[in-house]
């Protein structure tokens, strides 16, 4: 294998594909794909640095000097911080030095051995607090033991044996150091500088970071084919293993768009090919937002132009632009670890050929049974879980009562199971089914087979007890539509354990997803066994082809189960994050008195599937949404904006009926965006945009 082959083969780079116009012109999507590939290949852990020792050195050139030793779960990291004279806050730059640099020389504590080596000292003189990392190569090995090999290569080879890579390990350090600077109250805005190998580290840290960061990269430009294949065969660790299956070096730089970027390269640099670097630079600037990427061709060797670097950070950091924080309506969030877990399970399924009703589905059911507190079967969707439950109850030819304010699937599943539906209005204060309305509906229909309460928005109302009592009195089965409520509980009792049967959805917008999928939980083992037969064409057993029941194909594939199992295993984290976000909204919205919150039972622990608020009477929701969109904020979808008796499918039959509380609620409520990974800045933005729009 030639050195370059270890990195895979690139058919055509994402930048070229967009340039040639036969990829979605959506460059942002191509960039995001590159960033995701880097995240997967690097598989870094989020680390928090803790200061083990901090020692003040002698001030140099008017700068304060601090020597740090940090620790994190991966070990130890040394760094030197230089702080300019003058009062805080300072913009900060994280400096990732080149392969042969020492901390002392980069920070000006020892004379430079190379043009531009003392970059940290120079940036601090220009007003930046700098933190310079010691990448720690060459300290650990006896040169004789290296046998003429580069210590980085030896270390990289060792890490690869454990499924890692040196570049990823160094980028992980840099990312943690950036996080440490971010958290420093004396720091206002951070940038990244890297030289040579340090530029590769800085580039990858920037790609792995969620928030954009200005990057200045010196003496690291070209295509991997030329750089690794011809020039740097001796230090291949400047690229991630297999990266060329996804992108080349210019694609990686381009994927940083729209964050400010400066790349410097020297025309007499023996470690790059100036023609190759120029072509790469051109690809990057063409792909980048106009004017946001500077590629500087400089009369220098393998060095750094200090004045250009300082100028770049002065332009991009000195007055931190009022960050344009965009807030999407929702986000499906699987971190890199979760994605790799899914890939392992999918790989198992493909390798064994066990693609449906296999071990992963069984593990998902086991975990779901534990989380819900009842025996649970995995099925193809929340809708099929509802339909199976209603078929088990036996609703054909009879009436099923559902809330007027729910998703279409609640009622449609009953219709498909052969029932006629009627609706029940919302309770006066809250999101539950109105017990008085239910009493009236039970009186109006002698043939009610089932009632389907819906835990709207993830909340379980106190009135659920009255609904259950009325149903028990009449001997009517309760099937919970718990599609919104995985992880919620009322008085310590979990959603999905109140009715004879319950249905959960694992659709992508729900709190836990399998892509498509659903869960059905049952009180009785007989019901659970029947559900498992019904989902598989009513087959009496897996081995025999005897069909005792009219079921359908409502199975969940192993590939979906892989996603669902991985996500469900993180339920506690997901709930904790949603609850923290909701608590933060509670605080922020105290400053937006125009909005009111629907009353939630103090006995309810909700999963915050939706964070609801009620608009003042007479406020137009569509106009409000337009104003918020203009401010970069998208609201989540309502639950629901059209009540079922007004849905075209039902409207004819219910022309003369009205459910006034459901109608008023449908018209008046909004759902604030709430999703794992949401930042405090995004939440503040939502609150501010609402305050502006409603004042």
Ligand X SMILES: *Cc1c(COP(=O)(O)O)cnc(C)c1O
Instruction: Answer yes or no: are the C-beta atoms of 284 and 253 closer than 8 Å.
Output: yes
Number of helices followed by number of strands (H, E) in the chain = 25, 21
Which one among 90, 507, 659, 675 touches ligand X, defined by CB under 6 A? Answer: 507
Tell me: does residue 406 bind ligand X (CB under 6 A): yes
**CB nearer to ligand X: pick between 500 and 610:** 610
Largest CA distance in the chain: 94
Q: Which is nearer to ligand X, 303 or 517 (CB)?
A: 517
Q: Provide the sign of the torsion angle of the four alpha carbons 267, 270, 274, 277, taken in this order.
A: negative
In the bound complex, what is the minimum distance in angstroms from residue 379's beta carbon to ligand X? 9
480 is an interface residue for ligand X by CB under 6 A? no
With CB under 6 A as the contact rule, the residue among 130, 235, 383, 489 that binds ligand X is 383
382 binds ligand X (CB under 6 A): yes
CB closer to ligand X, 201 vs 390: 390
Q: If binding is defined by CB under 6 A, does position 671 make contact with ligand X?
A: no
Task: Please report whether residue 483 would count as binding ligand X according to CB under 6 A.
Answer: yes
Q: Do the beta carbons of residue 388 and residue 531 sit within 8 Å?
A: yes
With contacts defined by CB under 6 A, name the span among 298-306, 376-384, 472-480, 534-542 that binds ligand X: 376-384
DSSP state of 512: S
CA dihedral 652, 657, 658, 659 (to 10 degrees): -100
**130 interacts with ligand X by CB under 6 A:** no
> Nearest-CB residue to ligand X?
382
Q: Give Cβ neighbours of residue 29 (< 8 Å, ≥ 6 apart).
A: none
Look at residue 679 and give its three-state secondary structure: coil
Q: Does 403 bind ligand X (CB under 6 A)?
A: no
The single residue among 235, 257, 410, 514 that binds ligand X, judged by CB under 6 A, is: 410
As measured in angstroms, the least distance from the Cβ of 645 to ligand X is 16
Is residue 419 a contact point for ligand X (CB under 6 A)? no
Both structure tokens of 646: 């007004």
Structure tokens at 391: 């078929």
**Four-point Cα dihedral 514, 520, 521, 527, nearest 10:** -150
CB of 410 to ligand X, least distance (A): 5
Both structure tokens of 102: 């020492």
* Least distance to ligand X, CB of residue 510, Å: 6
Quote the least distance from Cβ 334 to ligand X, whole Å.
18
Per CB under 6 A, 107 contacts ligand X: no
Cα–Cα distance between 386 and 444 in angstroms, integer? 24
Q: Considering only 91-99, 380-388, 581-589, 647-655, which stretch makes contact with ligand X by CB under 6 A?
A: 380-388
CB nearer ligand X, residue 199 or residue 409 = 409
Cα–Cα nearest to 666, from 687, 691, 693, 645? 645
Q: In what order do the strands lie in the sheet with 604-605?
A: 493-494, 489-490, 604-605
Question: What angle in degrees, to the nearest 10, is found between the helix axes of 359-372 and 336-352?
Answer: 130
Q: In whole angstroms, what is the distance from residue 485 CA to residue 673 CA? A: 17
CB 66 within 8 A of CB 56: yes
481 binds ligand X (CB under 6 A): yes
Q: Is residue 94 within 8 Å of residue 83, measured between CB atoms?
A: no
Among 72, 99, 484, 669, binds ligand X (CB under 6 A): 484
For ligand X, the binding residues in 514-553 under the rule CB under 6 A are 518
| Distance of closest approach, residue 235 Cβ to ligand X, in angstroms | 50
487 is a site residue for ligand X (CB under 6 A): no
Q: Does 638 bind ligand X (CB under 6 A)?
A: no
Residues within window 442-471 making contact with ligand X, judged by CB under 6 A: 454
**Site for ligand X, rule CB under 6 A:** 381-383, 406-407, 409-410, 454, 481, 483-484, 505, 507, 518
């Amino acid at each position: 294998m030639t050195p370059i082959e270890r990195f895979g083969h690139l058919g055509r780079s994402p930048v070229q594909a967009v340039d040639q116009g036969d990829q979605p012109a959506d460059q942002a999507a191509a960039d995001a794909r590159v960033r995701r590939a880097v995240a997967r290949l690097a598989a870094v852990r989020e680390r928090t640095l803790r200061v083990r020792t901090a020692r003040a050195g002698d001030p140099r050139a008017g700068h304060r000097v601090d020597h740090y030793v940090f620790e994190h779960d991966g070990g130890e990291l040394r760094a030197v911080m230089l702080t300019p004279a003058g009062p805080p806050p300072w913009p900060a730059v994280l400096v990732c030095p080149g392969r042969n640099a020492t901390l002392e020389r980069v920070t000006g504590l020892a004379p430079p051995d190379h043009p531009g080596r003392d970059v940290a000292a120079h940036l601090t003189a220009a007003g930046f607090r700098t933190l310079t990392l010691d990448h720690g190569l060459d300290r650990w090995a006896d040169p004789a033991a290296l046998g003429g090999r580069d210590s980085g290569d030896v270390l990289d080879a060792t890490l690869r044996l454990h499924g890692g890579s040196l570049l990823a390990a160094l980028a992980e350090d840099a990312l943690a150091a950036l996080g440490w600077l971010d958290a420093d109250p004396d720091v206002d805005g951070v940038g990244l500088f890297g030289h040579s190998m340090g530029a590769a580290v800085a580039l990858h840290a920037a790609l792995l970071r969620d928030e954009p960061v200005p990057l200045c990269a010196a003496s690291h430009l070209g295509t991997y084919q030329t750089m690794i294949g011809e020039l740097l065969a001796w230090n291949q660790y400047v690229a991630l293993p297999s990266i060329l299956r996804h992108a080349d070096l210019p694609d990686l730089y381009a994927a940083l768009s729209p964050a400010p970027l400066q790349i410097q390269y020297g025309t007499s640099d023996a470690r790059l090919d100036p023609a190759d670097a120029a072509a790469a630079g051109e690809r990057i600037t063409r792909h980048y937002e106009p004017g946001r990427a500077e590629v500087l061709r400089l009369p220098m060797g393998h060095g750094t132009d200090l004045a250009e670097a300082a100028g770049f950070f002065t332009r991009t950091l000195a007055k931190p632009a009022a960050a344009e924080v965009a807030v999407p309506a929702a986000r499906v969030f699987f971190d890199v670890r979760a994605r790799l877990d899914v890939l392992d399970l999918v790989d198992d399924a493909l390798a064994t050929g066990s693609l449906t009703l296999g071990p992963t589905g069984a593990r998902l059911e086991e975990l779901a049974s534990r989380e819900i507190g009842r025996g649970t079967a995995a099925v193809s969707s929340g809708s099929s879980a509802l339909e199976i439950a209603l078929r088990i109850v036996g609703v054909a030819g009879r009436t099923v009562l559902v809330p007027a304010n729910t998703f279409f699937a609640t009622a449609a599943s009953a219709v498909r199971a052969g029932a006629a539906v009627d609706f029940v209005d919302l309770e006066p204060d809250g999101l539950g089914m109105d017990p008085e309305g239910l009493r009236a509906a039970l009186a109006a229909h002698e043939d009610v087979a089932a009632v389907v309460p819906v835990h709207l928005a993830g909340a379980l109302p106190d009135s659920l007890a009255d609904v259950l009592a009325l149903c028990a009195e009449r001997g009517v089965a309760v099937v919970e539509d718990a599609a919104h409520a995985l992880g919620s509980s009322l008085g310590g009792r979990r959603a999905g354990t109140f009715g004879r049967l319950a249905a959960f959805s694992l659709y992508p917008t729900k709190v836990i997803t399998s892509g498509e999928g659903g869960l059905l939980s049952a009180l009785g083992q007989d019901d659970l066994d029947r559900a498992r037969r019904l989902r598989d064409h009513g087959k009496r057993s897996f081995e025999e082809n005897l069909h005792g029941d009219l079921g359908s194909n409502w199975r969940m594939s192993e590939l979906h189960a892989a996603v669902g199992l991985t996500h469900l295993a993180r339920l506690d984290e997901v709930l904790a994050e949603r609850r923290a976000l909701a608590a933060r909204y509670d605080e922020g919205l105290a400053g937006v008195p125009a909005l009111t919150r629907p009353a939630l039972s103090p006995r309810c622990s909700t999963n915050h599937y939706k964070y609801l608020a009620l608009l003042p009477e007479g406020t137009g929701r569509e106009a409000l949404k337009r104003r918020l969109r203009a401010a970069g904020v998208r609201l989540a979808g309502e639950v629901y904006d059209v009540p079922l008796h007004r849905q075209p499918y039902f409207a004819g039959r219910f022309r003369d009926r009205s459910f006034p509380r459901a109608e008023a609620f449908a018209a008046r409520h909004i759902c604030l965006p709430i999703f794992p990974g949401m930042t405090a800045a995004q939440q503040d933005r939502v609150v501010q945009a609402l305050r502006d729009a409603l004042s």
